[in-house]
Amino acid sequence: MHRIRLFPLSFALTVFALCTIIPTLHAQTKTPVTIHVAAAADLQPLMPLLAAGFEKETGIHVEVSYGSSSELTAQILNGSPMDVFFSADYTYPERLVAANLTDAPAPVMYAKGSVVLWERKGGPFEPLGLDALSNPGLRSVAITNPLLGPYGRSAVEALRRMQIYDKVVPHFVLAENVAQAAQFASTGSTQLAFISLTLAKSPEMMQRGNYILMPTTQYTEMRQCAVVMRNSGHHAEGRKFLEYVLSGAIQAQLSNYGLTSKDQ
């Protein structure tokens, strides 16, 4: 007769504990998920805050690449592995929808943008007003290339409607994106700049200069839209980040950073 060997109870409990702890330790050492976000340059002051809040809430890391909406769209069309794209308008995301690269049949509006005229402190047009655009002393105005960036396009539309485009266009200094236009003016390379309210309200730009809003009645509403890439390697996480930006808690804070909530 074979005898059944009984292990001490303490040994059995140790084995049970190890079987319970090891999977938990393995889960804790898993590499955190990273999603790649393409964001229009006007979002530079805001996107790091959104990314940090999202990571704190979900554990998902957000890596952001900035540029003009046109440049980022071209990169994605050429195969750049982005998970989510936040544009400064709706036309560029629509191009990705038309190319069948998105997970939804239409872009999703996440905010509305505003164009401002910005001047460095101590500039020749203080106190700054729209009359600076018709001032004989005007020599240089930084603006995003209207063919590349929505903020440059909207500024041109406003100038045309205000019937002062012909006076201002000889003084244009074209920038690759709205952040570069802000840099031109903040360093004194240009006297003025057409930039986004998001950049104008950033602590650095507030310290260096002043701004006035361009009349919103003079350009088409800037519906800033986003899309999630259909073939994203982290599609679910990308969709979760977009939903985070669309949440009521985040939408209620957008005005602090120069954007208008999508529902206003």
Q: Give residue 31's pLDDT.
A: 76
Ordered domains of the chain (ranges, CATH): 34-112+221-261 (3.40.190.10), 114-218 (3.40.190.10)
One-letter amino acid at 68 equals S
Residue 158 half-sphere exposure toward CB, CA atoms < 13 A: 24
Give the number of residues written for the chain: 264
| 212 phi, psi to nearest 5 deg | -135, 150
Q: Give residue 117's pLDDT.
A: 98
Token pair of 255, please? 């005005």
Give the H/E segment covering residue 228: strand 222-228
Number of H helices, E strands in the chain: 11, 11
Look up tokens 């955190």; give the residue. Answer: 32
Q: What is the DSSP secondary structure assignment for residue 32, as one 8-state letter?
A: P
Which residues have a Cβ under 8 Å from the Cβ of 166 and sit 6 or more positions away?
none
- Kindly list the strands in the beta sheet with 84-86, ordered across the sheet, starting from the edge strand earlier in the chain: 61-67, 34-40, 84-86, 222-228, 108-113, 260-261
Look up tokens 């005229």; give the residue. Answer: 117
As averages over each run of 10 residues, the pLDDT of the chain (264 residues) reads 45 45 48 94 98 98 97 97 97 98 98 98 97 97 96 98 98 98 98 98 98 98 98 95 98 98 95
Q: Give residue 113's pLDDT.
A: 98
Which residues have a Cβ under 8 Å from the Cβ of 158 and sit 6 or more positions away?
115, 214, 215, 218, 219
Q: Which residues pair with 171 in a beta bridge?
A: none
Cα–Cα distances in angstroms (integers) from residue 144 to residues 29, 76, 141, in the given order: 45, 21, 10
